[in-house]
Amino acid sequence: MTKISADKKEKKDLTFEESFERLQSVVNTLESGQASLDNSLKLYEEGISLIRKCHEHLAGARRKIELITGINANGEPITEPLKEEERSLEERSETKGR
C-alpha cells in the first residue's frame, strides 16, 4: 500500500474525537501563518475533509438517539427513534447549510 492510500485509509478510520483533534491542529497551523502557500492549500483541503467526517459522525450519532416516551408497567423506559421532524428548526437549517 502506498503512503497516500494508507493516509486516506487512516483518515477514514478516525473517530470523531481524532478527526476533531486533527482539525484543531490544522486550524492552528493555518492561523499561525507559518505554512507555505502550497502547504496551506493542502491543509485547507484536509480541514474540509475532516469537517465532513465530523459531520458524518454526528449525523450517525443523531440517528441512534432514542426518545424516552414513557415508562411501562415494569418500570422500564419506552423508547422510539428520534424522527427528523422532531429536530428543532434551527438544527435542521444548520445541517442544510453544510
Q: What is the pLDDT of residues 31-67, one digit of tens each?
A: 999 999 999 999 999 999 999 999 999 988 888 787 8
Per-residue confidence (pLDDT) for residue 85, from 0 to 100: 59
Which of 27 and 72 is assigned the larger pLDDT? 27
Per-residue confidence (pLDDT) for residue 6, from 0 to 100: 46
Q: What are the residue ranges spanned by the domains of the chain?
A: 3-96
Average pLDDT along the chain = 81
How far is it, in rounded angstroms, from Cα 53 to Cα 61? 12
How far is it, in rounded angstroms, from Cα 23 to Cα 29? 10
Per-residue confidence (pLDDT) for residue 79, from 0 to 100: 83
- Of 13, 3, 83, give the one whose Cα is nearest residue 53: 13
Q: What is the DSSP letter of 84?
A: G
C-alpha cell at 67: 426518545
Per-residue confidence (pLDDT) for residue 28, from 0 to 100: 98
Are residues 29 and 35 in contact, defined by beta-carbon separation less than 8 angstroms? yes
Per-residue confidence (pLDDT) for residue 84, from 0 to 100: 63
Per-residue confidence (pLDDT) for residue 49, from 0 to 100: 97
- Residue 16: band (very low, low, confident or very high) from pLDDT cuts 50, 70, 90: very high
